[in-house]
Amino acid sequence: MKKLLGIIVLGLLLSGNAYAGVNEPGVTSIAGCDRGLKFQHKKLIKKHLKELIKKKQTGVLYASCNYDLYSWAANKGKDLEKLHKKTYKQCMKSAKKHTGKECYLYAVNDEIVWKYDKAKASTIAKTKIAEAKTLEEKNVKMDTKLGRFFEDQPDVSDDYQIHFIYLLTLDGKDTELDISGWIEKRIKTVNKKFLKMSAKNKKSNGIGQQFKLDMTKEGKLDVTFVRMNVLKKQLNVPDYPSKMIYHYLRKKGFDNPKKVYATFTGFKSKHGNSDGGEGFVPLMVIYTPAVKTYGQPDMDLVILHELFHTQAAAYGCGKRTYKGAHVKGSDILAVDTVKSSLDSRNDTYYRHDIEGCPDLAKSVFVTPTAKDSWDPYDVFCRKKRGNLTHPDLYTGSHRCKGGAN
């Protein structure tokens, strides 16, 4: 059997023992990965089982799993000790780079040996929780500061709105972007830029639009402080950690379908300053240390660019949409260099005339709000199309729970 290696992304803790999972069947729940791993295993067995029997060899498959994402490696041989170590090391090599989680034995020949053991899985989880709790307790006192909120404050309106989050890792340095007013200042500047750009659009008749913002009863921007229970190095494992952030925030209760969650992190992605942020329905992630290096106005344009992605723009049914959710030419949604131009031809995502295709100007998250407004979460997450019946509506990468840079 030729060496086989499969990789998909996400990340958690890595064991310090160089061969911790060698010849050790997995016992944790892999419900989200099970279908994919079974498919890979079935394909390998179909191709190689006869050869294994004929040559009296053993085939092993090691895997690591987190949520619905996994890494794996498989080999065959007669020297079982070398076979297990070799395959485990290959799996861990990809895990360190792409999944960040321990590899364990998944299958031997045609038998899947990874069996969920509630008691053993619980022991493993408790150990990791205890380690994280020690660091969490250390941060609690330091994180409690005047003017800081750890929960979404009571809404002054039941309308659709964008809520803001200042997000740190367990070991992240607190630069107080929430209570210093930095996030509020940036967002107000960005919203004014949107107002100006939209008013200049040739089909706007001089009427600009802005995003509806989540405000406190005191009239301040509602920003929630969240410290994740993962280390910075763990979030640097996936190419883009937004999916891990998305799942974490939902578990923390940030799951109101009438809200977009605009997140400003205290860390960069693994791509450094070249990656300013990500956006999709219903989450924006701005890697603050990276965008701060851009200077103004580029920093604000990047933030607005990602906010537009939270509205699923640019749409698959748009004329100039390309590379997923971006726009050809000079535009705020361009791929490489964003410009302060808002669909200047009105043929892709803003005030266009494409029948059955979403229009950012009619999103429920912008004001003034159109009478025939539409809800990005309903359309792209719940697949409730309404009158948005264009055949290319769901093409491109305007994904829910995915990402567009």
pTM of this structure:
0.74
Q: Which residues pair with 61 in a beta bridge?
A: 74, 107
The residue to which tokens 């041989």 are assigned = 77
Residue ending a domain, among 100, 116, 132, is: 116
Identify which has the larger pLDDT, 17 or 377. 377
Beta-carbon neighbour count of residue 385 at 10 Å?
A: 16
Does some domain include residue 286? yes
Q: How are beta strands 58-66 and 104-108 bridged, if at all? A: antiparallel
- Total count of domains within the chain: 2
Q: 205 and 84 share a domain?
A: no
Q: 30 pLDDT exceeds 90?
A: no
Residue length of the chain: 405
Q: 54 and 199 share a domain?
A: no
**Residue 56 confidence (pLDDT):** 94
Q: 341 and 283 share a domain?
A: yes
Does some domain include residue 150? no
The angle that helices 298-309 and 182-200 make with each other, rounded to 10 degrees, is: 80
Q: 241 and 343 share a domain?
A: yes
Does some domain include residue 176? yes
Q: 308 and 241 share a domain?
A: yes
Contacts of 362 (CB under 8 A, 6+ apart): 369, 370, 372, 373, 374
Q: Which residue range is the domain that position 83 belongs to?
A: 4-116
Q: What is the rounded average pLDDT of the residues 95-121?
A: 87
The pLDDT-based confidence of 89 (bands split at 50, 70, 90) is very high
Q: 86 and 166 share a domain?
A: no
Does some domain include residue 292? yes
Question: What is the maximal distance between C-alpha atoms in the chain?
Answer: 78
Q: 79 and 182 share a domain?
A: no
Q: 201 and 318 share a domain?
A: yes
Q: 100 and 174 share a domain?
A: no
Q: What is the rounded average pLDDT of the residues 301-306?
A: 96
Per-residue pLDDT tens over the stretch 70-83: 899 999 999 999 99
Q: 293 and 373 share a domain?
A: yes
CA-to-CA separations, 119 to 115, 123, 125, 231, 334, in angstroms, rounded: 12, 6, 10, 26, 51
Q: Is the dihedral of CA 14, 18, 22, 24 positive or negative?
A: negative
Per-residue pLDDT tens over the stretch 215-241: 999 999 999 999 998 888 777 766 678
Degrees to nearest 5, angle at CA 360 with 221 and 370: 85
Does some domain include residue 142? no
Does some domain include residue 191? yes
**How far apart are alpha carbons 351 and 344 in whole angstroms?**
10
The residue to which tokens 């803001």 are assigned = 164
* CATH code, domain with 169: 3.40.390
User: In 169-221, where do the E strands start and end?
Assistant: 210-211
Does some domain include residue 348? yes
Q: Indicate the DSSP class of residue 313.
A: P
Q: 107 and 219 share a domain?
A: no
**Residue 255 confidence (pLDDT):** 95
